[in-house]
Amino acid sequence: MSIEKNNHSLLAVNDEGDEIGNDHVSSTAETPMRADAFEKSTEEKIEIIRQNFENIMETLGLDLTDDSLKGTPLRVAKMFVKETFGGLNPDIAPKASVFDNKYQYGEMLVEKNIVVYSTCEHHFLPIVGRAHVAYISKGTVIGLSKMNRIVDYFAKRPQVQERLTKQIVQSLQKALGTDDVACVIDAKHLCVNSRGIRDIDSSTVTADFGGKFQNENTKREFLEYISMKTTFEA
């Protein structure tokens, strides 16, 4: 009887975990990290992931002696640690240098159509879309490219889109010393587009409005800016 109960309990936990993953629920605004997350070196992490991915490929029945496949475990390991999930490394966090607002520019500044490449933490499939970020200066401004780098840094983690949106806003609020920051992200999730329901047309929109952006008029102005068509001819 105890074994049967344990099996049922395990099944219930697995079902619950799968449902949470399918519903894209996030339990915290912080990326869930273990206390020992940074004890291993980059090289150690790459080697461990290489071995584990090799086991995955072998379990799937792939022939790792084939010229096309034999280098794949190492390539994937390097990609995970240095690229796809590089945003887990605080050593490469962008330096959010700010400057005095000497122009006395008091309107909102909007950086739109920032490319987002992230990874769904529930199925480890890509999230691809655009972020639109804005702030109203409270005496300081930040370099435009830094806003792109902040988006890219937090995107390079296993993510849920709601958390990513909040992390971008919170990072800019801290750097600029103001609550007046907003972010909207519109992205496609390949865990929806390429598996399960396989709806290739749907996208997910999330938003976080801080400070003055919670005012309906300010919010509307921001949304009108990001809906404007941007044209550029070289």
Strand order across the 204-209 sheet? 158-159, 108-120, 126-136, 181-189, 204-209
| pLDDT above 50: residue 23 | yes
Q: Give me 10's structure tokens.
A: 């395990």
What is the pTM assigned to this prediction? 0.86
Estimate the crossing angle of helix 161-176 against helix 144-155, to 10 degrees: 140
Q: Which domains does the chain have, with CATH numbers?
A: 2-90 (1.10.286.10), 92-227 (3.30.1130.10)
Span 53-65, mean pLDDT?
98
Confirm whether 8 is a catalytic residue: no
Confirm whether 123 is a catalytic residue: yes
Q: What is the pLDDT of residue 22?
A: 58
Which one from 132, 161, 167, 183 is the annotated catalytic residue? 161
Span 15-36, mean pLDDT?
70
Confirm whether 122 is a catalytic residue: yes
Q: Give me 234's structure tokens.
A: 């070289």
Q: What is the pLDDT of residue 165?
A: 98
Pairing outcome for strands 140-142 and 98-100: antiparallel
Which one from 24, 54, 111, 120 is the annotated catalytic residue? 120
- Which parts of the chain fold into alpha helices (H)? 2-23, 42-59, 72-78, 144-155, 161-176, 190-193, 216-227
Q: Percentage of residues in the chain with pLDDT exceeding 70?
A: 87
Taking only the tens place, the pLDDT of each residue in 133-180 is 999 999 999 999 999 999 999 999 999 999 999 999 999 999 999 999
Question: Which position has the higher pLDDT, 231 or 122?
Answer: 122
Tell me the C-alpha distance between 157 and 193, whole Å. 20
Q: What is the pLDDT of residue 104?
A: 86
pLDDT band at 10 (very low <50, low <70, confident <90, very high): very low
Tell me the C-alpha distance between 219 and 8, whole Å. 49
Which one from 123, 132, 167, 183 is the annotated catalytic residue? 123
Confirm whether 189 is a catalytic residue: yes
Confirm whether 183 is a catalytic residue: no
Q: What is the pLDDT of residue 27?
A: 56
Span 12-37, mean pLDDT?
68
Confirm whether 24 is a catalytic residue: no
Q: Percentage of residues in the chain with pLDDT exceeding 90?
A: 75
Which one from 24, 54, 111, 121 is the annotated catalytic residue? 121
| pLDDT above 90: residue 195 | no
Which one from 111, 159, 183, 189 is the annotated catalytic residue? 189
Taking only the tens place, the pLDDT of each residue in 103-135 is 888 899 999 999 999 999 999 999 999 999 999
